[in-house]
Structure 1
Amino acid sequence: MLKKLLRGLLTLIGLVLGYILGEGLLETRYFNIMITKSGVIQTVLFLILCTLLLGLIFFLISPWIVKGITKAMEYFENNIQKVPISEIVFGTAGAMVGLFISAMFVSLFPRMSILWTFIEVIICLIIAAFGADIAIKKREEIVLFFSNAKKVSINKEKKNKAVLKSGAKVLDTSVIIDGRIFDICQTGFVEGTLIIPNFVLQELRHIADSSDGLKRNRGRRGLDILNKIQKELNVDVQIYEKDFPDIEEVDSKLLKLAQIMNGKVVTNDYNLNKVAEFQGVPVLNINELANAVKPVVLPGEEMIITIMKDGKESGQGIAYLDDGTMIVVEGGRKHIGETLNVAVTSVLQTAAGRMIFAKQKENLSKA
């Protein structure tokens, strides 16, 4: 079937070449004189004769040509089977890259003649062969390069997934300036990755460059805390470079980032805590943590305190524990500056902190 197809194709090529040859001969000087003397019919007959003659010649010699083509194909097939598939693939890819580079190179020069076109073809073939040879010789290094790149990509993806799985902690500006996050991380109670958004860093820089001395000190303190966390603690810290241009407020950006990363916002901002609860974003509030780790005080317990100042209500005195917990002592106003033995009557827990109400032990016993 292949031989018949090739023979028919060669015959068709002969017919086309015969017609082209006949037209070429008719344009010569001798045949122009012949055409003027003879009519159109003779010209058409001449073209048909040339077409059929060259087609017949190709038809007669086609068996030898077909035989040569089939032998060449068999030789190529036998030799190609000995070549590893990797060499074929890399050689083809290298040749295609070489052809592309050579085509870009020769296109820079104008085509001046047929000879220059022939030179361009030679250049393209040489560069293609050069590219195929390099690709075959360097195929192991190429495979190693792409495999390493793939491993890096996979490891990066795994790292990002690990961050999401471990529960990323997105730090708020207020909690960075507060500074207690450093001590909490130092104790090892915080797990996962600390995420520092770039827009939070920009807000810290803006505060640190403020003309107000208090704000400037707070901003610089926040930047110092971040540097201490990165340098002194064995905690994974990542800077989140992306921003949310469609969101203006930093707090809203923090909540959006926590939702995307499936993480938690670390803050001591009361308002942000409430908004996060409303939006269903988990929050780690430093103030709540500080209240939670304070010693438990039960009604009836006794303690020795010093009255520091008067309270809001009539006759009340205010004292403080070492952790800053405020104690309201009934009838303590007249004992400001004195150390008293009091007993706890009740404990009020609020979002802002904890308040302890107490009475002097003597007054309590009388009641």
Structure 2
Amino acid sequence: MVDSLILILFMISGAAAGWLGVDLLPRAMLAEVDNPEGLRTVLGGFGAFFGLIAGVFFGQLRRSLMRQVRSMPTDLLVSRAVGLILGLLVANLLLAPILLLPLPWEVVFVKPLAAVLSNVFFGVSGYNLAEVHGRTLLRLFNPSSTEALLVAEGVLQPASAKILDTSVVIDGRLRGLLDSGVLEGQVIVAQCVIDELQALADSSNAEKRGRGRRGLKLLTELREQYVRRLVVNSTRYEGKGVDDKLQALTADTGGTLLTTDYNLAKVAELKSLKVLNLSELVIALRPEVQPGDEFQLKIAREGKEADQGVGYLDDGTMVVVEGARENIGERLPVVVTGALQNPTGRIVFARREPVLHATATEAGSHGNERGGERSTPPASKRKPRASR
């Protein structure tokens, strides 16, 4: 509705400019025109056409600005607004002497042209300067803030917004990251993610319905806990799927896409977007297991190969143990022989630790018993001592 109204207003303004612009033409040129009303109609049509083009351009610019405003931090928004106002103020102060100059009728159009160009130039300059150096104002309003001082000096970079993928919301580990303080900055939930979670919650499949409801419940709880930090972006981007829309939102906001989808992370990296793969973060934080490490492991199930058992470490890493297929449910001492790292996780290979000490002790005790029997023959087999 707003876009249509903008186009209509621009077309009417262009048509009126073309219709009334005939009066600004030189009189010598008007004297050569046989049909002034036809000239007005033609110029009005051209004005409406160029007004339509300007309206389309202005509508796209308005939508882009609205997307940035919705996801922009408050301090940056205020600094940009102040920079734009100061730029326009400087432009109008410089224009005052020019507008008061008496100019001939033939070059009177220089005044409005200079007004438009100067306002655009100084307004854009003030906006850009505020975007780069606007955070220095934090020192003026709060000089005792160490964080504001570091940001103003460029030593500390402001935290980027985190755009959540549906997989991260369903995963559930987002709460732990926020509570621990690992994630900084605004947390943005796109409208397409909420729509996808709602579709999952309304699914006839019980598993999908459970995941969708769990994701919506988590977002509701986080919204109550982090009131202003969690932001819902209601902008509806065009795209084939949720992945394309999330990439467009990440590009517009300059934030970091948080996901557990390996393919989405790689496509976003290919487009030079900031990505944080939660699966890779979890893998990087796991404790290192080196070949030769010994520990107790409970065998949970059978392995794929013959005579293999499978157990799990405390962090969820799968351990494949050779020769443990018959020991399911038991806790065995194992020795790590190697590890395999892949994009989806890590697999540790181990073998059963041989129990040699108990076997050697038992063998030694049996040998001593047999040796004692040989060294002390029974009394019935002893030869009688010869009498003297």
Q: TM-score, normalised by structure 2?
A: 0.50
Indicate which of 295, 302, 306 corresponds to 1:310.
302
Structure 2 match to 1:330: 322
Residue of 155, 166, 169 corresponding to 1:173: 166
User: Relative to structure 1, is the Cα distance of residues 309 and 177 closer, same or farther in structure 2, using a 3 angstrom cutoff?
Assistant: same
Partner Cα distance (1:159, 1:298) in 2: 52
Q: Which residue of 1 aligns with 2:339?
A: 347
Answer whether contact 1:305 1:339 (CA < 8 A) is retained: yes
The residue that corresponds to 1:357 in the other structure is 349
2:77 is aligned with 1:157:
yes
Q: 1:229 aligns with which of 216, 222, 226?
A: 222
- In structure 1, C-alpha distance between the alignment counterparts of 2:346 and 2:234, rounded to whole Å: 39
Once superposed, what is the RMSD of the aligned Cα atoms?
Answer: 2.6
Paired with 1:313 and 1:303, the residues of 2 have a C-alpha distance of: 22
What one-letter code is carried by the residue in structure 2 that aligns with 1:300?
Answer: G
Of residues 227, 231, 242, the one that matches 1:250 is: 242
Q: For residues 227 and 159 of structure 1, what CA distance do their matches in structure 2 show? A: 32
Partner of 1:295: 287
Matched, 1:214 2:207: yes
Match of 2:149 in 1: none
- The structural deviation recorded for 1:274 is 2.1
Does the 8 Å CA contact 1:329/1:360 hold for their aligned counterparts? yes
Post-superposition offset of 1:322 = 2.2
In the other structure, the counterpart of 1:259 is: 251
Contact 1:319 1:327 (C-alpha < 8 Å) held by counterparts: yes
TM alignment of 1:64-213, pairs within 5 A: 157-158=77-78, 165-213=158-206
Displacement, 1:363? 8.2
Q: CA deviation at 1:234?
A: 6.9
Q: Whole-Å Cα distance in 1 between the matches of residues 281 and 345 of structure 2?
A: 10
Counterparts in 2 of 1:227 and 1:356: CA distance versus 1, 3 Å: same
- Aligned twin of 1:99: none
- CA positional deviation for 1:334: 2.6
- What is the Cα deviation at residue 314 of structure 1? 2.2
Q: TM-score, normalised by structure 1?
A: 0.53
Question: Max radius of gyration: which structure?
Answer: 1
The 1:198/1:154 distance shift into structure 2, 3 A limit, reads closer
Unmatched runs of 5 consecutive residues or more in structure 1: 1-152
Q: Give deviations 1:30-74, integer Å, cap 9, x for gaps.
A: xxxxxxxxxxxxxxxxxxxxxxxxxxxxxxxxxxxxxxxxxxxxx
Q: Distance in 2 between matches of 1:268 and 1:249?
A: 17
In 2, distance between residues paired with 1:356 and 1:321?
Answer: 10
Q: How big is the shift at 1:339?
A: 1.7
User: CA 1:248/1:165 → structure 2, altered by over 3 Å: closer, same or farther?
Assistant: farther
1:120-147 per-position Cα deviation (integer Å, ceiling 9, x unaligned):
xxxxxxxxxxxxxxxxxxxxxxxxxxxx
Displacement of 1:173 in angstroms is 0.8
Instruction: Report the Cα offset of residue 235 of structure 1.
Output: 6.6
One-letter amino acid of the counterpart of residue 324, structure 2: G
Q: Is 1:285 matched up with 2:277?
A: yes
> SS of the residue aligned with 2:237?
coil
Unaligned runs of 5+ in 2: 1-72, 81-130, 136-156, 358-388
Which has a greater percent of helix?
1
Cα deviation for residue 305 of structure 1 reads: 0.7
